[in-house]
Structure 1
Amino acid sequence: MDAPSLTKLLSPEGWALVNSLPPYDEKQAMALATRLRADGVDPELAAAALTQSRLRAKARAKLGDFADGMLFTPDGVEQATRLVVAALHARRYLAAGVTRVADLTCGVGADALAFAGVGLGVLATDVDEVTAAIATVNLRHFPEAEVRHADGLSLDLAAERVDGVFADPARRTRGGKRVFDPAAYAPPLDAVWALREHVPALGIKVGPGIPHQGLPADAETQWVSVDGDVVEAGLWFGPLAPDGPGRSALLLRTTGGVTTSRALRNDDEDVVPDVGPVGAYLYEPDGAVIRAGLVAHAAAELGGRLLDPTIAYVTTDQPAAAPAPGRAPLATGYRVLDVMPFHLKRLKAYLRERGVGRLTIKKRGTAVTPEQLRTQLAPRGDGEATLVLTRVSGAQHVLVVDPLR
């Protein structure tokens, strides 16, 4: 979005228009655009309003009903923190006794909204003028939140009475290409975490693919998953890491409007998992557990062993205990129905004999691609099956499993 389009949207006519549009429906978007033009709506305003309607619909997955009163950029929707996660960020600062947070890379303001929502003072900055203006609109209900068009690294944190810092460095180029080198983040990761020398309560949101090598030894690095999808890793310093440095995983699951959580930490670096044969049950640890390198810890809690020392599958002889009320599950479980060495003709015959036509194929530790294998197997029939392609003690195997419900 450019500045002229934003100005039109923020006019009384524009704001009324964008808030009066029906729920976004891609199939009806062209007809709606035609009707707006026929009604004499300025074409540029109509296009901007329809774009906001589309972005709001997309943002609802992260921000729920709050999205309906906000403005967005396409990048802002992609980079915005999910509301359930932003609320956890805010609670970290609140629990640490922070009173005023500087959000150095605020984007459209999702995290700043959560900070302000728990009563923290907020100073939010963004280097892009239009994005900063949009964040100002989105934070309009919070007088204690100030937004500036500025480079957050240029702030005099002491003069601004800031006692907590948060940053979410951009991890994509202007062309949308993902950036994996932390030194190429905007701003660079080293420049951000150097701020802990001035403000110990420092938090940095980073991509979940960040390698363990090179992580700061004085931070808690926490990988977060939401409903099984790994959404971020966070680096937490000083009072924001009350349990001390280390790696942890935080799992959030929402069912029926109720969110449960589960945290797992590497408090014991000497956990060495057992490795053994396939048991009656198979468990796939949550992606945050895997990213955090805590599969051995999960295996211990599940009462199981690994199929292979390099593969993140846990097997047990008895079903693992159900999570306690209010706690999210560590892993997805399956009952093991059959185990066989991987052999295409034998597997094809196995499925044909059982009339399996619908396949779910999972893999880990094998070069076989599910799409290619599905074509080669040419499944036919009314039955269905779930196949797990993986290594067992170094050898390629197929596990036929049934999800535990």
Structure 2
Amino acid sequence: MTLADVDALRSPAGRALLAALQGYDERAALALGERLRREHPAPLVAAAMTQARLRARAAPRLGPAAASMLLTPDGLEQATRAEVAARRARRFVDAGVRDVVDLCCGVGGDLLPLAAAGLDVLGVDRDPVACALAAANAEALGLAARARVLAADVTAVDVRAHGGAFCDPARRAGGRRVMAPEGWSPPWSWVEGVLAASPAAGAKVAPGVPRDLAPPGAEVEWVSVDGDVVEAAVWAGALASGVRHRATLLPSGATVTGSGAEEPPPVGPVRRFLYEPDGAVVRAGLVSAVVAAVDGSLLDPTIAYVAADGLVPTPLARPYEVLEALPFQLKRLRAALRARDVGTVVVKKRGSALEPEQLRRQLRLTGSGTATVVLTRVAGEPWALVARPA
């Protein structure tokens, strides 16, 4: 996308075309495109149809606001989920921050929720097209009075001139994820400088970051949505809450914290119930909180599955009732499932090299029932648990 494309989409003709394309059937895209090109310039039709597709893709991530936004594929990939961004904005508000500089703002995935929360926000990005889109999105959502956008090098911004700072460094290059924090753009060493200089700072990072990534005194928070770990964030200054690690589960809002120096949980045998901790809890190294909540134990010291005798409601883990447990052997597992008339299995695994689809093929089941098969280790040995959601 170019700046000319942005201007064309923001023109009256562009707005009308986008409105007409809302919810169009992609199966009729070829015929629709041909018809529209008889009435509008071809570049405008191509840009508008691309936006219609991006908006449809963005709806689960960005919510109702997606229907009014202008996007790019990369901008959508980097944009924060709406519920996560709204919760993040509240953290700034609750800390008494009034204005925030949003570094690497992209198309406005965090800029807009920050402004919607009542903060005055300056978004900065080196990509002029992204800045133009962010400004257009702020205008479309009625937030232009609170959200300003500047095309500039974020490393030249004096974050001390603002009450708070948020940074979302690019973690992709050439279409691939960049795992090493110093390979991000800007690099993690620069982000650490922002965290140290700003009175209230946060940075969005990849969920797979090491738990000791944050500088002393800072907090690392892992966030899941409907059980999927979607991101992590580092909080410093007034936004750090005094804990080292936090796991937050949305939409419930359940949260659990730790110091980073928790004692290893006890290890024990298979019991009547198996608990699968939420991914954010696992990433944060807080499985011990699940063990304590259900009065349980780990099946293996290196595997995040918790065994317990009772069914205890907890938002931190998903419970299963164990119907049968056996040291893993394909023939024994197949026989156990056939004896229960199981024809369909949901395969879960932690600590097993077997691929779920490969196991399903090898089992050759023909029954009418359904079961969950958990492949894991018990005291270092491979086991299979036949279970059902509790």
Q: Secondary structure at the match of 2:177?
A: coil
Aligned to 2:83: 84
Aligned to 1:33: 33
Aligned to 2:346: 360
Q: Distance in 1 between matches of 2:284 and 2:24?
A: 38
The one-letter code of the counterpart of 2:217 is: D
Shift of 1:268: 7.6
Given the alignment of the two structures, is residue 309 of structure 1 paired with residue 309 of structure 2, yes or no? no
Q: Distance in 1 between matches of 2:165 and 2:326?
A: 53
Q: Distance in 2 between matches of 1:305 and 1:103?
A: 43
Shift of 1:378: 1.6
Aligned to 1:343: 329
- Cα deviation 1:5-36 (Å, max 9, x = unaligned): 22221221011111221314332322322221
The 1:9/1:294 distance shift into structure 2, 3 A limit, reads same
Gaps of 5+ in 1: 254-259, 324-328
Aligned to 2:372: 386
Aligned to 1:107: 106
Given the alignment of the two structures, is residue 292 of structure 1 paired with residue 294 of structure 2, yes or no? no
Q: Secondary structure at the match of 1:139?
A: helix
| Equivalent residues of 1:217, 1:245 under 8 A apart | no
Gaps of 5+ in 2: none
Aligned to 1:248: 246
- Cα deviation 1:57-82 (Å, max 9, x = unaligned): 11111121111111000011111111
Aligned to 1:257: none
- Cα deviation 1:67-126 (Å, max 9, x = unaligned): 111100001111111111111111111111111100011011021111111111101011
Shift of 1:332: 0.8
User: How does the TM-score come out when normalised to structure 2?
Assistant: 0.96
Q: Compare 310-319 and 271-280 and name the one that shifted more.
A: 271-280
Aligned to 1:326: none
Match of 1:266 among 258, 261, 281: 258
Q: Distance in 2 between matches of 1:172 and 1:25?
A: 31
Aligned to 1:69: 68
After TM superposition, list the pairs within 5 Å mapping 1:130-141 onto structure 2. Answer: 130-140=129-139, 141=142
| Equivalent residues of 1:208, 1:231 under 8 A apart | yes
The one-letter code of the counterpart of 2:147 is: A
The one-letter code of the counterpart of 1:315 is: A
The one-letter code of the counterpart of 2:91 is: R
Aligned to 2:221: 222
| Equivalent residues of 2:243, 2:257 under 8 A apart | no
Match of 2:154 among 152, 159, 164: 152
The 1:268/1:219 distance shift into structure 2, 3 A limit, reads closer
| Equivalent residues of 2:203, 2:235 under 8 A apart | yes
Q: Distance in 2 between matches of 1:287 and 1:67?
A: 27
| Equivalent residues of 1:203, 1:235 under 8 A apart | yes
Aligned to 1:163: 163
The one-letter code of the counterpart of 2:29 is: A
| Equivalent residues of 1:24, 1:57 under 8 A apart | no
Q: Secondary structure at the match of 2:159?
A: coil
RMSD value over aligned CA atoms?
A: 1.4
Identity of aligned residues (%): 50
* Count of aligned residue pairs for this structure pair: 387
- Cα deviation 1:116-142 (Å, max 9, x = unaligned): 111111010111110110000011222
Shift of 1:170: 0.6
| Equivalent residues of 1:193, 1:202 under 8 A apart | no
Shift of 1:267: 4.0
Given the alignment of the two structures, is residue 281 of structure 1 paired with residue 273 of structure 2, yes or no? yes
